[in-house]
Chain A
Amino acid sequence: RKEVEQDPGPFNVPEGATVAFNCTYSNSASQSFFWYRQDCRKEPKLLMSVYSSGNEDGRFTAQLNRASQYISLLIRDSKLSDSATYLCVVNSGGGADGLTFGKGTHLIIQP
C-alpha cells in the first residue's frame, strides 16, 4: 500500500474556478503535513503546512482529517500561474526524519 496517495490528474480547470485536491496517507502516526508545489523542471517549494484546525493562506485553504487520514487543498479564484504539480507530503517521524511525498496532482489552469 502506498504511503501517500494522490489523484495524479491532470485537472484541467478554467481560470477563476475553484479546484480541490485530496490526499490520503497510510501511517496513522504521521505528525506533520504539507503541500508543496513543483513547477516543471524545478525543485519542490513549500506551499503551506497543514494544521489540524485547518489553515488558509490567501486563495489557498488546507485541511486535515486525522480520523480519515486525508488532507485537502482548495484553490479559489485560480490563476494561470497556479498551473503546477501539487505534492502532498507527510512527515511521520516527528522532526528528524525525511518527508514522504505523494506522486503529485497535475493542475492545468486554462485561459
Chain B
Amino acid sequence: SAVISQKPSRDICQRGTSLTIQCQVDSQVTMMFWYRQQPGQSLTLIATANQGSEATYESGFVIDKFPISRPNLTFSTLTVSNMSPEDSSIYLCSVDRGRRETQYFGPGTRLLVL
C-alpha cells in the first residue's frame, strides 16, 4: 500500500473563504482522486486529479468550486472555494497503484465551515 498524508488534518473556516488541502504520496502514482464524506454519509467522488492536465469532475462538482492541481505524480491539491456551511465534510484523497484498481486513502481533512 502507499503512504498518504494530507494537510491540514482539520480546520474551521468562515463562510466565504477558501481552503486548500494538500495530498502527498510517498511514491509516484498514476491515479489520484478526491472524495467527500459528509456527516453520516458514505464517500462521494469529487474528481480525478490528472497529472499535467485538467481534473475530471463528477456530476454535481465544478472546477470553479473545487479547483484541483496535480503538478507531479506524488502531489495534488484540492481547494474548496467560497465555502458555505454545506461544505462541512471530510475530504479524502486516494491513490490507485495496486492490482484490480484497488485504492488507498489518505487520513482525510475534517472541515467545519461556520
List the interface of chain A (C-beta within 8 A of B): 31-32, 34, 42-46, 49, 87, 91, 94-104
Inter-chain contact count A-B, CB under 8 Å? 50
Whether A98 contacts B33 by the Cβ 8 Å rule is yes
- When C-beta atoms are compared, the residue in chain A nearest to B50 turns out to be A96
Which residue of B45, B107, B108 contacts A99 across the interface (Cβ within 8 Å)? B45
Which chain A positions have C-beta within 8 A of B33?
A: 98-99
**Given the known A-B contacts A43-B92, A43-B108, are A99 and B42 also in contact in the complex, defined by CB atoms under 8 Å?**
no
The binding surface of chain B is classed by DSSP as: strand
On chain B, which size bracket covers the interface? Answer: 20 to 34
Q: Interface segment, B13-21, B72-80, B98-106?
A: B98-106
List the interface of chain B (C-beta within 8 A of A): 1, 31, 33, 35, 41-45, 48, 58, 92, 94, 100-108
